[in-house]
């Protein structure tokens, strides 16, 4: 048996699908052919690796596409004349273009599944953390020199952490953080609005606003408990006055 | 001032109740009642209440003692034992009432919604109330020294209160009715209803929520929203100022004019409607004068919404 014929049957051999004689022939060739043995070894390692991955359902659209192509192949096959179907059976080792396309699709699906399965946990975690930082926990520092973004959409409302699965004592301990996060979110919304309207302010107003925001940030950062809540509310009040009434130079706000 | 006395952990009196209990998840209720007399004969000045586990109801009355009724609800006796209420009266006339849910390693996990503590407090009218609730309803009524009320998602309801009043809620609807005094009310994600408000100052703000005011007679009124509608039916007072503003919300102000009080109204918005022919806008502002605004005591109304419509009407 030639190396080419053996390699064509390697998949079936490794899957244990070859009948006794055919399997013996392949096994005998592998004992004597170092190149084919190496190919078989590589394929075995790949297959073992794939089997060890946790099962993940591929996206429906992926399989739907493959199945649609396979169905189209079956329909086309059924419409072919009998003599062409017979000829095709003899050409099983000569890859016809349509078969090659179908095979390529299946291979692509397999690659996609492998990618799905082998996607590093760190990568997924990084994406989730980035989203969390962007949406749930707004940046803690406001940059007064941030570029003016006209009509920049305000961030969506902050997500809240559900506490259905934790003990009531732990849930109570999180209450303060939740309220704080909600106020932080409101402040970020208002700062975004301020970025939209500050183009209408004078340079003096813009400078005063930035100084005030910075000072209030510092007060909030240093405070704790009730004083921190009061400072945070005062900042919300100040920002609302600034964006709705241009009351940037508001006196009496800490 | 040092705490004079840690008075008690109100001992629950467990009562097994049937399926008709108010909380269908729970089947054990503990009730207690306590009268707290002033320490050393000094009247109570400030009562602080912190209850993140349920409702707080504070009612003023013409007495000197604080009468506390508690109701604990839990799925079983073990869970009920974890619910604690502490009361700390100080010699300086302040009292602090707090609730907690204890936890230790042996405790089985208890969902927050499975337990609750509801507090009903009858307090001397002239005591100031500082109360904090979580998702429960916070109700204050018949008090004369105002209060400082705070909730997370629970509604705030105030009725028949005078004095300096401050309310804050993240997402609880706030309703103030028949309040006289200086008022500062703020919500982040909920609506604010104001009815029969009078006094020197009314400052109300909602970030994502609407403000509705009726029968408002405060001398200085400042209402602000980020994107909620503001409707106000107010009375023009001598030297009164009404400032109503929003970024995206529509504004609708109806001003009741008494006597000959002159009113200057200026407004800007996507569309401005005074209900009567008004002069052309100058620098974006539409301004009109009603009555004798040169005389001392004229009232002033300013309305502005960056992206919303503005409507004003005089109701004689």
pLDDT, one tens digit per residue, over A70-100 is 556 655 666 666 667 666 665 555 555 555 5
The verdict on a CB contact (< 8 Å) between B207 and A189 is yes
Asked if the model's pLDDT at residue A217 lies above 60, the reply is: yes
pLDDT tens column, A97-119: 555 565 666 666 555 444 444 44
- Residue A46: pLDDT over 80: no
Rounded distance, CA A33 to CA B301, Å? 97
What is the C-alpha separation between A100 and A93, in angstroms, rounded? 11
The answer on pLDDT for A126 being more than 70 is: no
Which residue's entry shows tokens 């022919």? B277
Q: If you count them, how many residues does chain A have?
A: 254
Mean pLDDT of B200-222: 96
Name the residue among B82, B113, B168 with its Cβ closest to that of A233: B168
Q: Fill in the DSSP letter of residue A252.
A: T
pLDDT band of A142, cuts 50, 70, 90 = very low
Is B170 in contact with A179 (Cβ distance < 8 A)?
A: yes
When scoring B73, B82, B111 by the number of chain A Cβ atoms within 10 A, the one with the most, hence best to mutate, is B111
Least Cα separation, residue A168 to chain B (angstroms): 4
* Of A168-172, B21-25, B106-110, B261-265, minimum mean pLDDT range: B21-25
Burial (CB count <10 Å: 0-12, 13-18, 19+), residue A34: exposed
Residue of A nearest to B222 (CA): A241
pLDDT digits (tens, 9 = 90+) for A18-45: 776 777 788 888 878 888 888 887 777 6
pLDDT of B223 > 50? The answer is: yes
CB-CB under 8 Å, B52 with A179: no
Q: Which of A189, A240, A244 comes nearest B304 by C-beta?
A: A244
> For position A100, what pLDDT does the model report?
58
Q: Name which of B76, B98, B168 to mutate to probe chain A: the one with the most chain A Cβ atoms within 10 A of its Cβ.
A: B168
Q: Across chain B, what does the average pLDDT equal?
A: 89
pLDDT of residue A24: 78
pLDDT at A9: 82
User: In Å, how far is B93's CA from the nearest CA of chain A?
Assistant: 20
Q: What is the pLDDT of residues B113-132, one digit of tens each?
A: 889 999 999 999 999 999 99
> pLDDT at residue B151 above 70?
yes
Given a cut of 50, whether residue A225 has pLDDT beyond it is yes
For A252, phi and psi rounded to 5 degrees? 85, 0
Interface of A with B (CB under 8 A): 157, 163-164, 166-172, 175, 178-179, 182-183, 186, 189-190, 193, 197, 229, 233, 236-237, 240-241, 243-245
Picking from A157, A164, A237, the nearest residue to B205 by CB comes out as: A237
DSSP B208-256: SS-EEEEEEEEEEEEEEESSS-EEEEEE--TT-EEEEEESS--EEEEEE
Q: Provide the whole-model pTM.
A: 0.69
- Residue among B102, B189, B246 whose CB faces A244 most closely: B246
Alpha-carbon distance of B172 to B189, in angstroms, equals: 8
For A167, B69, B70, B76, B149, the CA distances from B24, given in Å and listed in that order, are 20, 21, 19, 13, 29
Task: For an interface test with B, give the residue of A158, A175, A244 to mutate (most B CBs within 10 A).
Answer: A244
Those residues whose C-beta lies under 8 Å from the C-beta of residue B56, and which sit 6 or more positions away, are: B49, B118, B119, B121, B131, B133, B136, B137, B138, B139
Please say whether the beta carbons of B209 and B229 come within 8 A: no
Helices assigned H by DSSP within A97-167:
97-118, 121-131
Please report, for chain A, the start and end positions of each structural domain, with discontinuous segments joined by +.
1-52, 55-119, 143-245
Inter-chain residue contact A167 with B114, CB threshold 8 Å:
no
pLDDT of residue A75: 56
pLDDT digits 0-9 by tens, B166-193: 999 999 999 999 999 999 999 999 999 9
Cα dihedral sign for A114, A115, A117, A121?
A: positive
Within 8 A by CB and 6+ apart from A116, the residues are A56, A58
What pLDDT score does B177 carry?
98
What is the rounded distance in angstroms from the CA atom of residue B12 to the CA atom of residue B120?
15
Q: How far apart are CA B198 and CA B237, in angstroms?
A: 11
A165 CA to chain B: closest CA distance, Å? 7
Q: Which residues of A touch B150 (CB under 8 A)?
A: 229
DSSP state of B280: P
Residue A144: alpha-carbon gap to chain centroid: 32
Interface of B with A (CB under 8 A): 52-53, 82, 100-103, 107, 109-115, 134, 150, 152, 168, 170-171, 186, 188-189, 205, 207-208, 224-226, 243, 245-247, 304-306
**Which pLDDT score, from 0 to 100, does residue A223 have?**
93
**Higher local confidence (pLDDT), B9 or B78:** B78
The residue whose two tokens read 């929520």 is: B209
pLDDT higher at A163 or A189: A189
Report the C-alpha gap between B267 and B309 in whole angstroms. 10
The pLDDT of B9-18, averaged and rounded, is 41
Cα within 13 Å of Cα(A144), Cβ side: 14
Return the pLDDT at A128.
Answer: 43
pLDDT of res. B261:
76
The ipTM, to two decimals, is: 0.85
How far does A153 lie from chain B, in Å, by closest CA? 13
- Name the more confident of A199 and A104: A199
CB atoms within 10 A of CB B311: 19
> Between B28 and B15, whose confidence is greater?
B28
């Amino acid at each position: 048996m030639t190396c080419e014929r053996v390699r064509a049957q390697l998949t079936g051999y490794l899957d244990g699908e070859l009948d006794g004689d055919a399997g013996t022939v392949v096994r005998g060739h592998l004992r004597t052919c170092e190149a084919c043995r190496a190919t078989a070894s590589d394929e075995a390692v790949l297959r073992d690796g794939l089997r060890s991955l946790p099962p993940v359902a591929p996206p429906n659209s992926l399989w739907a596409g493959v199945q649609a192509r396979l169905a189209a192949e079956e329909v086309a096959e059924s419409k072919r004349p009998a003599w062409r179907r017979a000829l095709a059976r003899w050409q099983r080792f000569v890859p016809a273009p349509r078969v090659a396309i179908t095979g390529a699709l299946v291979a692509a699906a397999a690659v996609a599944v492998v990618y799905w399965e082998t996607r590093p946990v760190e990568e997924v975690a990084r994406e989730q953390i980035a989203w969390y930082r962007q949406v749930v926990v707004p940046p803690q520092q406001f940059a007064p020199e941030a570029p003016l973004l006209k009509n920049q959409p305000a961030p969506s409302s902050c997500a809240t952490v559900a506490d259905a699965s934790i003990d009531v004592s732990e849930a109570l301990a999180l209450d303060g953080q939740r309220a704080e996060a909600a106020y932080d979110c409101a402040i970020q919304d208002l700062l975004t609005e301020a970025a939209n309207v500050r183009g209408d302010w004078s340079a003096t107003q813009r400078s005063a606003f930035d100084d005030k925001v910075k000072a209030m940030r510092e007060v909030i950062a240093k405070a704790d408990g009730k004083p921190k809540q009061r400072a945070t509310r005062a900042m919300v009040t100040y920002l609302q006055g600034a964006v709705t009434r241009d009351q940037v130079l508001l006196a009496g706000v800490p | 001032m040092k705490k004079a006395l840690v008075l008690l952990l109100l001992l629950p009196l467990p009562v097994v109740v049937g399926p008709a209990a108010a909380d269908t998840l729970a089947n054990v209720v503990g009730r207690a009642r306590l009268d707290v007399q002033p320490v050393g004969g000094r009247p109570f000045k400030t009562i602080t209440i912190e209850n993140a586990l349920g409702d707080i109801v504070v009612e003023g009355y013409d007495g000197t003692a604080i009468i506390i009724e508690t109701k604990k609800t839990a799925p079983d006796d073990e869970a009920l034992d974890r619910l604690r209420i502490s009361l700390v009266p100080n010699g300086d006339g302040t009292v602090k009432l707090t609730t907690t849910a204890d936890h230790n390693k042996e405790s089985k996990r208890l969902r927050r919604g499975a337990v609750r503590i509801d507090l009903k407090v009858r307090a001397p009218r002239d005591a100031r109330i500082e109360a904090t609730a979580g998702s429960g309803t916070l109700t204050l009524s018949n008090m004369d020294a105002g209060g400082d009320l705070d909730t997370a998602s629970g509604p705030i309801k105030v009725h028949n209160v005078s004095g300096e009043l401050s309310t804050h809620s993240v997402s609880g609807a706030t309703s103030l009715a028949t309040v006289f005094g200086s008022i500062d009310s703020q919500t982040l994600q909920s609506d604010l209803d104001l009815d029969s408000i009078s006094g020197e100052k009314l400052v109300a703000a909602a970030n994502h929520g609407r403000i509705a005011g009726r029968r408002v007679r405060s001398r200085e009124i400042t209402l602000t929203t980020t994107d909620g509608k503001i409707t106000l039916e107010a009375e023009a007072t001598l030297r009164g100022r009404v400032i109503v503003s929003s970024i995206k919300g529509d504004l609708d102000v109806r001003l009741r004019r008494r006597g000959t009080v002159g009113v200057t109204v200026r407004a800007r918005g996507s569309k401005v409607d005074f209900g009567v022919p008004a002069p052309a806008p100058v620098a974006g502002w539409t301004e009109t004068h009603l009555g004798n605004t040169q005389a001392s005591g004229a009232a002033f109304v300013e309305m502005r919404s960056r992206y919303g419509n503005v409507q004003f009407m005089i109701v004689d």
